[in-house]
Chains A and B, each alone.
Chain A
Amino acid sequence: MRISLSWLATYVPLPPAEELARRLTDVGLEVEAVERVGAALDGVVAARILSSERHPGAEKLSVCQVEAGQGAVQVVCGATNWKVGDVVPLATPGTRMPAGHRIDRASLRGVDSHGMLCSARELGLSEDAAGLLILPADAVPGTPLARVLGIEDVVLEVNVTPNRADALSHLGIAREVAAATGAAMAYPESGLKQQAPAASSCLRVSIEAPDRCFRYAARVVEGVRIGPSPAWLAGRLEACGVRSISNVVDATNFVLLERGQPLHAFDLDKVAGAEIVVRMARVGEKMVTLDGVERTLSPDDLVIADRDRASALAGVMGGGDSEISAGTTRVLLESAWFEPTGVRRTARRHGFHTEASHRFERGVDPEGVVPALDRCAALIAELSGGTVRRGAVDVHPHRRKPLDVELPWARAGQVLGMPVSRKEARTALLALGFELRATGAKNGKFRVPSWRLDVTREEDLIEEIVRLRGYDAIPETLPAFLSDTPAQPHGALVTERARQALEGAGFSEAVNFSFVAPEDLRPLAPGGGPTGIPIRNPISADLAVMRSSLVPSLLKVLAYNRRQRVEDVRLYEIASTYHPREAGAQDDAPAREDLRLAGVATGRRHPVGWSAGGEPVDFHDLKGALEALLESLGIEGVRFVAGGATFLHPRSAATLEWTSPGGSAVALGVAGEVHPRVAAAFDLPRGVFAFDLSFPALVEAARLVRGHAGVPRFPAVLRDLAVVVANEVESRAVLEGVRAEPLVEDVTLFDVYKGAPIPEGKKNLAMAIRYRAADRTLTDSEADAAHGRIVERLKGELEAELRG
């Protein structure tokens, strides 16, 4: 809300602007900006034209001597609407004009000019470019133009939080200033003069929806002449960012900004039947609002209707039919109290956020309805030459009972953690307009001022006390009670280990939006599978569904990085995916959120360097990274089983299977080359690898603290073994065949070879086997026997042939 300090100063004495801004911020009315109005006219001063003569070299120019406070200066001028002795605006050298250019000392066709005499248009004051702006003859030369025009002002931009409807006006802010500074308030008089006959003889008001309109008061002003507002009024409104329209409309806006009570003026002659009915809209009822749009109303919309039709959306916006126009002579002025949530629903339904709805939604002062009406009627009469009919038509079905709140004297100190004396509490509350209704040893009872609808319980009183006293007064302590130091939960430790393992394997972390385009998920769900959970009001089509997989986001980031010419990319993300919940789920979460750990890799295996590098990443690089991850989490016995998911290459992917201690197989996730068609859909080439793991499954499988087996005390015997098997035989089968021999401590596959002299369709696997017995030194013959058993087993089970 914009607060004009010259206006505010008419109600309460003010400290300097910067201090005022700080004081208001300290009581909870945050001042976001302090703006000097008229600053655009800096450097422009009033100047009296002393004499003039024709320019020696140009017919249309005059050379003037002007007095601008510091002796005569010479200015060349092209306008003709002035005479010697007039006072006009002079832009002195150095002035930055509203259009952006700078006025400098110049020579115009050989004659020096020390500045520029200006039109209203050149100063950005109006569209009038006909000639110089002629100022009042009594303006003192040298006076800044903003002061001459009375537009010199300071405006505070105050951020009024939704609970403080009472501060959405100059009087409301003045009340806070008075409370904070101890200065006295001067409330404006309405100055209302009324004349017979009574308003009630020409206007009837009825309320058919008393739950939505607690009070409706109206006055009639007759003999009105619509015209422009005087400069002081237009200036006040413009300082607050409200456009001046006409004397009557400006009067309603002035009172709105003064008191926070929205008012509406109707042309009484256009109110059919001279009758106001406050009622709910009828099904299908239509109305043209002031913005010229025809709207179909909802039966939940409250309208101000005449005998025939709706003529305003109550508390939100007026209608075009009964609008004040140049020919209006009889004004019906409305001041009402509408139920806040109803106003809010109507405003939102029709996409409005008006000065009126903003205030009604937050709750205007129920006791301010009639004073605002009187003030505005008097102002309209004064500005337009009209007369106010006697009496208000005031329908008041819902009378508000004043609210009294008890404050246990000790309570403020308990909540704030500092002593608050009874006197301090009382002083603060009385300064803010609360009344002390009763006082006892333990409690005080305070009556809440009518404009503070947000104050309903003792905590609210405590806030009032402390915000007036200043939060700085509160000491800094730490909570006294001690809980146990909570152990780091297993899940958090697994998360940290997993991150470290992946970062060690060269994967950086990406954080992506949880929403994606449905098309992004489609390549992962061929056959019309689910494509995320739709958002009803997405911010864009690209961010329309909650993702059911992390992979598309990561592929998009890969593509983004490749477009930036970053080609070696490894990324991971730990985040939730979103799914409909299963029937019978125990908690009350509306959706199932599965935490996943996914990653992608593309580009080169190692960075190209002077010594090596440059080979592309392949499946086994990804597998190596995952093995390092599993090892760091203490997950043992994971099998990579051929075949992954539909988004992966059918011949180059695996499922990670882990067997729980209970013996059940748990799928941890999948890994492999991204299916070439999926890659193409994301503008990616071949050679993109991805994994997608269930994080809860990893957490379940992880054993971060394991037992240990000591260190072997007897020597090992080493033997190499090379066998030839068919290509289809998985290396795992060969290695398992080796490990089945009890004396084998470890086996390392150190070479896989295809090609001559190995026959077509076969491969040679070379292994280093380490034999060891835990309780004795193994003899060569024992090791030979074990080696022989392995060879026989591989021959029998896998048709392996021994190679020398």
Chain B
Amino acid sequence: MDLVRDLEALAEGARQSIASAPDDRALEELRVRFLGKKGELSAVLRGMGQLTPEERPRVGEVANRVRDEVESLLVRARQRIADDRLEKELQGSRIDVTLPGRRLLPRGHRHPVTRTTEEIVAIFARLGYEVASGTEIELDWYNFEALNIPADHPARDMQDTFYVDEAALGRVGGEGAVLLRTHTSPIQIRAMKRAGAPPVRVVAPGRVYRSDYDQTHTPMFHQVEGICVGPGITFADLKGTLAAFARAFFGAGTRTRVRPSYFPFVEPGAEVDVSCTICAGVGNRAGARCGTCKGTGWLEVLGSGMVHPKVLENVGFDPSAVTGFAFGMGVERMAMLKYGIADLRLFYENDLRFLEQF
């Protein structure tokens, strides 16, 4: 039974060499050496032909057992080597987690004027206001006359107006002056005329233009206008709405103050102040006078009032049946207060290093 002895010797050789194999390649060589077509096991089995029929099953049985054993030794050895390798990696050198992340395209940023407009509009949208828009090149009637600001009225001094070359628009004289709207208030008129009948609850953002260019003015800026007209709308509603807006925009602790003022298209008219966003309405910070509110604790942010009956008449509404309030605010000012932007020029330079901060 030399063959059986040879098989046992083969198995023993395989056990030793597989146990000490250092890596996958060595294992593969051992697999070929023991189990390959020209390997040791095949060589032993070639001698089976000389065996008697009685001996064959027994030798065959041993050969199968040896093959199974070598195969399972190989599987276990592969697992051992993989485990060793992983363990080595897990204990090995670290990656540099401080290398900058790989960003194919940094995200773009939205302009702070747009962001602020969106925030304002969203608050009024939650209060049920629809968003409206109007033309920027506007007729004098919508911008002034319909808003109770007749020609040669001193209230026109409040807004230095740009006029548009009418010939370039193909207009003949006498059709009324064409101008760049000085405020978003003409959208009130267009919205009420479009609605045809109350109630009207509209908020209208847009570009406006005034001939003024210095540290605190740009010839173009942005406003958001709002109007709420219907039966039984009161001044108290105006106060409540704008106080709710101020809390939503500037934060829950924001206080509002309403005081008399004059805008020709409202009566009574009101200026709305909010408690200073910098000093929380105290008037000073760390003992020094607050520069943002000039020590008063209040910031002027909104013009407003009850819609003037002449304005309602101008759009065909009956002032004895409906009342309403209107308000307007400057977007750049709101953005400056909310984001602490000190220099108005930054808005229109469009320096990417500024835009990327929003």
Contacts and interface: CB of A to CB of B under 8 A. Distances in A.
A529 to B, nearest CB: 13
Nearest to B149: A162
Interface string B93-122: 000000110111111111101100000000
Given A475-B239, A499-B110, A534-B164, A414 B234 contact: yes
B347 to A, nearest CB: 7
A606 B105 contact: yes
B105 A590 contact: no
A124 to B, nearest CB: 25
Contacts of A561: 350-352
B103 A30 contact: no
B262 to A, nearest CB: 4
Nearest to B222: A511
B108 A508 contact: yes
Interface in A325-377: 340-341, 344-345, 361-362
B44 interface: no
B164 A514 contact: no
B110 A591 contact: no
B262 A28 contact: yes
A236 interface: no
Interface in B139-179: 139, 151-155, 157-158, 162-166, 168-171, 178
Given A479-B228, A515-B219, A492 B131 contact: yes
B137 A591 contact: yes
A474 B137 contact: no
Contacts of B209: 514
B207 A414 contact: no
A278 interface: no
Nearest to A489: B131
A581 B111 contact: no
Contacts of A476: 236, 239-240, 243
Contact of B103 (A340, A418, A607): A607
A478 B220 contact: no
Contact of A457 (B164, B233, B237, B309): B309
A437 to B, nearest CB: 22
Nearest to A591: B137
Interface stretch (A144-152, A568-576, A705-713, A789-797): A568-576
Contact of B163 (A361, A484, A537, A593): A537
A510 B109 contact: no
B108 A479 contact: no
A539 interface: yes
A478 B259 contact: no
Given A471-B258, A483-B128, A533-B137, A30 B271 contact: yes
A610 to B, nearest CB: 6
B293 interface: no
B249 interface: no
A524 interface: no
A530 B257 CA distance: 50
A604 to B, nearest CB: 11
B241 A479 contact: yes
Contacts of A590: 135, 137-139, 164, 166, 169, 171, 178
A27 interface: yes
Interface residues on A, range: 35 or more
Contacts of B111: 508-511
A572 B111 CA distance: 10
A439 to B, nearest CB: 21
Contacts of B232: 414, 480-481
A578 interface: yes
A418 B236 contact: yes
Nearest to B267: A459
A162 B157 contact: yes
A28 B169 contact: no
A515 B180 CA distance: 11
A509 B219 contact: no
B178 A591 contact: yes
A57 interface: no
Indicate the member of A479, A515, A543, A560 with the most B CB atoms within 10 Å: A479
B228 to A, nearest CB: 6
A417 B163 contact: no
Contact of A509 (B105, B110, B152, B258): B110
Given A508-B108, A514-B207, A580 B169 contact: yes
Given A509-B109, A590-B164, A593-B136, A481 B231 contact: yes
B102 A576 contact: no
B324 to A, nearest CB: 9
Contact of A471 (B128, B237, B270): B270
B29 interface: no
A649 to B, nearest CB: 24
Contacts of B24: none
A446 interface: no
B254 to A, nearest CB: 13
Interface in A475-517: 475-486, 488-489, 492, 499, 502-515
Given A162-B158, A164-B262, A590-B138, A341 B267 contact: no
A528 to B, nearest CB: 14
Contacts of B350: 510-512, 557, 560-561, 571
Contacts of B108: 502-509, 570, 572
B202 to A, nearest CB: 10
A509 B352 contact: no
B164 A591 contact: yes
Interface in A72-118: none
B333 interface: no
A362 B209 CA distance: 25
A459 B306 contact: yes
B348 A511 contact: yes
A511 B114 contact: yes
16 contacts: A25-B259, A26-B260, A162-B158, A459-B306, A471-B258, A474-B239, A477-B234, A478-B127, A483-B199, A504-B107, A505-B108, A509-B110, A515-B220, A535-B165, A543-B219, A606-B104
Interface of A: 25-28, 30, 161-164, 340-341, 344-345, 361-362, 414-418, 457, 459-460, 462-463, 466-467, 471-472, 474-486, 488-489, 492, 499, 502-515, 533-540, 543, 546, 557, 560-561, 564, 566, 569-572, 575-576, 578, 580-581, 588-591, 593, 606-607, 609-612
Given A415-B323, A486-B130, 10 more contacts: A417-B237, A478-B127, A482-B128, A503-B109, A535-B180, A538-B162, A564-B353, A572-B108, A591-B135, A606-B104
Which 3 residue pairs across A and B have the least CB separation, nearest first? A417-B234, A417-B236, A28-B260
